[in-house]
Structure 1
Amino acid sequence: MARSNDEVEALLREYADLIAITGGDAFKARAYEKAARAIGGHPFDVSRLGQQDLRKIPGVGRSIAEKVEEYLRTGTVGAVEQRREAIPAGVRELIAIPTLGPRKAMTLYEDLHVSSVAELAEAIRAERLGGLKGFGKKTEENILHGIELMEQAGARIPLGTAMDPAEEIVAELSRLTGCAHCAYAGSLRRVRESVGDIDILVAARRADPFMAALGELPSTAEVIARGTKKTSIRTVQGVQVDLRVLPPRSWGAGMQYFTGSRAHNIRTRTIAVHRGLKLSEYGLFDMDSERSVASHTEEEVYARLGLPWIPPTLREDRGEIEAGLRGELPEVVTERDIRGDLHTHTSLTDGLAPLDEMVAAAARRGLRYYAVTDHAPDLAMQRMTDEKALAQRERVRELDGAHRGMRLLHGTELNIGPDGEVDWPEDFLAGFDLCVASLHSHFGLGRRAMTRRLVRACEHPRINVIGHPTGRLIGKRPPVDADWDEVFAACARTGTALEVNAQPDRLDLGDEDILRAKEFGVRFAVDSDAHSVLHLAQLRYGVGTAQRGWLTPRDVINTWPLGRLRGFLAKGRKR
């Protein structure tokens, strides 16, 4: 079922949008956004907390706590309903468009009577926005691109959204008597940034108990179809789940077949045919005798095809078959290889947990080193100062090695300005152990200016990592337009790593950019960008994305021992 925390987070985010649409206090809207993030990232179920405990969550005061209690008690909040009634449904539809803010949505409704996405697209094509203040040609292009992003996303589900119900269902079905194996497959197992639906496989001698159990799970909203070999349901989150039950002897073949991708499977079936074999979800069979020659494990199936086992994240027909046949398949980076996290936040800026809690949680995850990189002063809303940074550094030094021997690095996440400048002068930055620099504004700069901006950041002697380099938010904001070959070359030349940001709405760099950047000799940092204790676990999404980009531990700086990492962070400077 959907976590109460997630439901409350969505409600408070909507309320913040409604406040912004109606011209309400911007500070109040930001307060509700911050409270929404805090509740979404809170480790305990808010439905079990009283008001006093709710108010201990960062950013949750008396008024917000009362609204949370009202929602959990009644399923609605009067103040939210009042705001909804004051705003036409069409305006609420418009603000779902990436790149279109609440104020502009209201202007479109009031001045042009536009109340749907289709009407807005038509108004732009008919050039009806020309006379509206604040709606220039560039704005129109951005809105159309936002509509395209919505259409591309369609019914696809973000990776992070799909993973929770998939793991819940696997856990529930694995408990049933007779379950030999249970796992998710498909594009979720390949760690694609979004999935069409969730594929669950079970190995068991009898299918009926599993088909029945899936339909009765608390997270199941609707049984779409039920059969002897396959049952499809829709979860309360609106995600379709397809369950297939296979004989235990076919487990390996079934996992290979249903993991995909389609292009990869075409290649493996072609190899099978050339060897006089037939490959299906039930096994690999001799074409003449129909005798099974491999089926129990994926390793058996691939070996019989003359291939090593291929990690699911590589199965996209992007050269993995050829590399396997040549014996040159990479040993891709795994979560076990990650020694440290180089991009995290605390409640000193926009994180949800204080420094001590984040450090303790990171140590419990077995990290050997950990960097705190709160925002620098140019993001004014975070209210960072020199004095706050120095005080934090002192506390970081006190905590260094205090939790399971984990070493601490004091860093900062700088803002890359429109000309490539960053927040603090070089002499102040010299006191940090590492500097991450990221784009947080001016996403619409032209290609040449954006390229120059990023290259200049790479050339800064104190910048070690470019954080979430393209600035994309999946399904919400497109990547910035830059000459990425020039940026990749600058990273390789200056010894600046590119981040693989693990936040599931970023996954930035994406796999195709990683593949390209690796050709230039770029190094990478796979980071959680955690803003709460729960976010630390999202590092796995970054690792999966890194695998899809064929990265090995040699390519990823935070798999290295701390001594070697410090040498890289020196960026060629004498110490």
Structure 2
Amino acid sequence: MARTNDDVAAVLEEYADLLAITGGEDFKIRVYQKAARSIGAHAADIDGYDAGELRQIPNVGEKIAHKVAEYLRSGTMAQLEELRGRIPAGVRALTRIAALGPKRAMVLHESLGVDSPESLESAIHAGALRDLPGFGAKTEENLLHGIALLRDAGERVQLGVAMPLAEDIVTALKSVQGCRRCGYAGSLRRMKDTIGDIDILATSNRPKVLMSAFIDLPQVTEVIVHGDKKTSVRTSQGLQVDLRVVPPDAWGAAMQYFTGSKAHNIRTREIAGHRKLKLSEYGLFDADTEELIVSKTEEEVYRRLGLPWIPPTLREDIGEIEAALAGELPELVTEDDVCGDLHTHTTLTDGHASLEEMVEAVAGRGYAYYAVTDHGPKLYMQQMTLEKAIAQRERVRELDGTSGLRLLHGVELNIDPDGDVDWPPDVLAGFDLCVASVHSFFDLPKDRTTRRLVRAAEHPCVNIIGHPSARLIGRRPPIDADWDQVFKACARSGTALEINAFPERLDLAAELIRRAKRHGVNFALDSDSHAVGHLDNLRYGIGTAQRGWLTADDVINTWPLDRLTAFLGKKEVLAGAR
């Protein structure tokens, strides 16, 4: 469900950016950034909070609490509006470019009149940046890449933004009198990383009432098209949402058609044609007589085509039709299969919930085991020390077994440019598991990046490579590596690759998951939670894993504890054999 917290966090992040553009003091900027992260991670929805209640949230001081309370009451923040008025909208747009911070965006505007990503691209190609201090050839290359990323993203939003919005809308429409069925389709149902628009289908005996309720929803800011069968709106997130009302008897065919993908639908229509049938969003018809054969459910549509029901996450024409015809569709991993989370953080480093709060929340999810993996010392801003880690381990041991939950004490290590990690093996041997991740030096040459990841995978104490490509969707591209060499190293060394469920990561991406699976790699499906609310992000990782054709057997944290601990101990066996 979409939360007020996310809106407020975005507003505070914008305020911090605008402070940076206008020369605000660094400490003040950091204060607003910390408050934004704390509010975004706060477990309860802050809608309706007053200033006093807001001050109970960590990192939210008196002044920020009053600003947020003002925003909650009025939908605006006077000082934010004042800052917006001082800064051209084009300069604010520049800050969306990866590798370009707010201060340098203002330098470009004041020095060269750059006021949009397009004008920045022109200035780079004209060589206009070369005389500006701090803007060298490498900077130009990074900026052009950032502009390309921004252009590719276009008006698409992350899965984690689109899904709660769609669920809120579907829930609201289901409560409208006369609505019989309602659900989302399209790329959202296929769980793609980013969503261009949301397709919602419904059946109703009162379509006009349903459409009127749709355009009156609080999320709607613009009505694009308003009709009895189809209405399109734009929401406050800038996302277009299309609602189609279909006949009850056409529900299955409509869901199949509007779920897509286009390539998958072409294949199913080809199969229909070979059987002298015609498939459309209205049903499956006899091609000669146009008599309706089936349309009520997706299952019967696929069955009449000679296929089993194909899960939406597989419908991309990447072999699912052939697998279905051969009876070889995988039994995809589901959220119910997950027995524990192997990558999470607490307030010891950059988390927003204590160890005790995280343990309580995880126990409530019915997991069998849970690993806390706060950062190692090479992520210097987190100020981790071995003494802190050992003290946390002692507390983990004290809590172990509460609510029937087995607690594992882990660590998220930092992979340096040469593939080394934070602590030596004798220290790392004291942890139950080690996740190793790239957090810096993202633009190394391909051969060096490959060696870096291979060396980390072969480390005797590293169990999991976290968010392996280090991508941030729409903001930072994947690091450049020979992935097949990395996958071979992971399969050879018994190192799992993570599917990081954070919506801005979803890393590994589905296409790399499929490649890694062919090499025999195992996977860890983790939330990378920094707050209690982040545990719910696991479902996005599940969708990505399904798009990668994974079964429960491929994912180590669906395994029972004894099998998991045997896998984690395998590295020690390999190390002892050297």
TM-score, normalised via structure 2 length: 0.96
Shift of 1:81: 4.3
Match of 1:428 in 2: 427
CA distance in 2, matches of 1:489, 1:102: 41
Shift of 1:82: 4.8
CA distance in 2, matches of 1:16, 1:493: 46
Match of 1:511 in 2: 510
Match of 1:328 in 2: 328
For 1:378, give the aligned amino acid: K
Instruction: Encode CA deviations 1:511-550: one digit per residue, 9 max, x unaligned.
Output: 1111111111111111111111111011000010010011
Structure 1 stretch displaced more, 375-384 or 176-185: 176-185
Distance change (3 Å), C-alpha of 1:214 and 1:31: same
Q: SS at the partner of 1:300?
A: helix
Aligned pair 1:113/2:113, yes or no? yes
Q: Residue 342 of structure 1 contacts residue 371 of structure 1 at CA under 8 Å; is this kept in 2?
A: yes
Q: Residue 232 of structure 1 contacts residue 242 of structure 1 at CA under 8 Å; is this kept in 2?
A: yes
CA distance in 2, matches of 1:156, 1:204: 30
Shift of 1:85: 4.9
Match of 1:569 in 2: 568
After TM superposition, list the pairs within 5 Å mapping 1:109-508 onto structure 2. Answer: 109-403=109-403, 405-508=404-507
Distance change (3 Å), C-alpha of 1:20 and 1:555: same
Instruction: Encode CA deviations 1:246-302: one digit per residue, 9 max, x unaligned.
Output: 222221111111100011001001101111111111211222333322212111111
For 2:180, give the aligned amino acid: A
Q: Residue 370 of structure 2 contacts residue 406 of structure 2 at CA under 8 Å; is this kept in 1?
A: yes
For 1:20, give the aligned amino acid: A
Match of 1:556 in 2: 555
Q: SS at the partner of 1:48?
A: coil
CA distance in 1, matches of 2:425, 2:31: 34
Structure 1 stretch displaced more, 99-108 or 457-466: 99-108
Unaligned runs of 5+ in 2: none
Distance change (3 Å), C-alpha of 1:217 and 1:82: closer
Q: SS at the partner of 1:482?
A: coil
Q: SS at the partner of 1:352?
A: coil
Match of 2:61 in 1: 61
Q: SS at the partner of 1:356?
A: helix
Q: Residue 130 of structure 1 contacts residue 136 of structure 1 at CA under 8 Å; is this kept in 2?
A: yes
Q: SS at the partner of 2:222?
A: strand
Q: Residue 34 of structure 1 contacts residue 59 of structure 1 at CA under 8 Å; is this kept in 2?
A: yes
For 2:394, give the aligned amino acid: E
CA distance in 2, matches of 1:64, 1:396: 34
Instruction: Encode CA deviations 1:304-349: one digit per residue, 9 max, x unaligned.
Output: 1111110000000000000100111111111111111111111111
Match of 1:528 in 2: 527
Instruction: Encode CA deviations 1:439-492: one digit per residue, 9 max, x unaligned.
Output: 111111111211111111111111111111111111011111111111111111
Instruction: Encode CA deviations 1:196-247: one digit per residue, 9 max, x unaligned.
Output: 1111111234422211211122222222112222111112222211111122
CA distance in 2, matches of 1:219, 1:89: 23
CA distance in 1, matches of 2:275, 2:84: 64
Structure 1 stretch displaced more, 180-189 or 60-69: 60-69
CA distance in 2, matches of 1:340, 1:125: 50
Distance change (3 Å), C-alpha of 1:449 and 1:25: farther
Instruction: Encode CA deviations 1:133-171: one digit per residue, 9 max, x unaligned.
Output: 222222111100110111111111221111112101111
For 1:277, give the aligned amino acid: L
CA distance in 2, matches of 1:30, 1:425: 33
Structure 1 stretch displaced more, 11-20 or 86-95: 86-95
Q: Residue 497 of structure 1 contacts residue 522 of structure 1 at CA under 8 Å; is this kept in 2?
A: yes
For 2:519, give the aligned amino acid: F
CA distance in 2, matches of 1:206, 1:270: 35
Structure 1 stretch displaced more, 286-295 or 164-173: 286-295
Match of 2:26 in 1: 26
Shift of 1:386: 1.3
CA distance in 2, matches of 1:476, 1:358: 29
Shift of 1:51: 2.5
For 1:532, give the aligned amino acid: A
CA distance in 2, matches of 1:208, 1:111: 55
Q: SS at the partner of 1:408?
A: strand
Q: CA RMSD in A?
A: 1.7
Match of 2:540 in 1: 541
Q: Residue 91 of structure 2 contacts residue 109 of structure 2 at CA under 8 Å; is this kept in 1?
A: yes
Structure 1 stretch displaced more, 172-181 or 392-401: 172-181
Structure 1 stretch displaced more, 372-381 or 87-96: 87-96
For 1:224, give the aligned amino acid: I
Q: Give the fraction of aligned pairs with identical amino acids, expressed as a percent.
A: 65
Shift of 1:425: 1.7
CA distance in 2, matches of 1:192, 1:306: 27
Shift of 1:88: 4.3
Q: Residue 2 of structure 1 contacts residue 237 of structure 1 at CA under 8 Å; is this kept in 2?
A: no
For 1:5, give the aligned amino acid: N
Structure 1 stretch displaced more, 139-148 or 15-24: 15-24
Q: Residue 461 of structure 1 contacts residue 571 of structure 1 at CA under 8 Å; is this kept in 2?
A: no
Structure 1 stretch displaced more, 282-291 or 68-77: 68-77
Q: SS at the partner of 1:307?
A: coil
CA distance in 2, matches of 1:2, 1:538: 13
Q: Residue 2 of structure 1 contacts residue 236 of structure 1 at CA under 8 Å; is this kept in 2?
A: no
Question: How many pairs does the alignment contain?
Answer: 574
For 1:570, give the aligned amino acid: G
Q: Residue 340 of structure 1 contacts residue 369 of structure 1 at CA under 8 Å; is this kept in 2?
A: yes
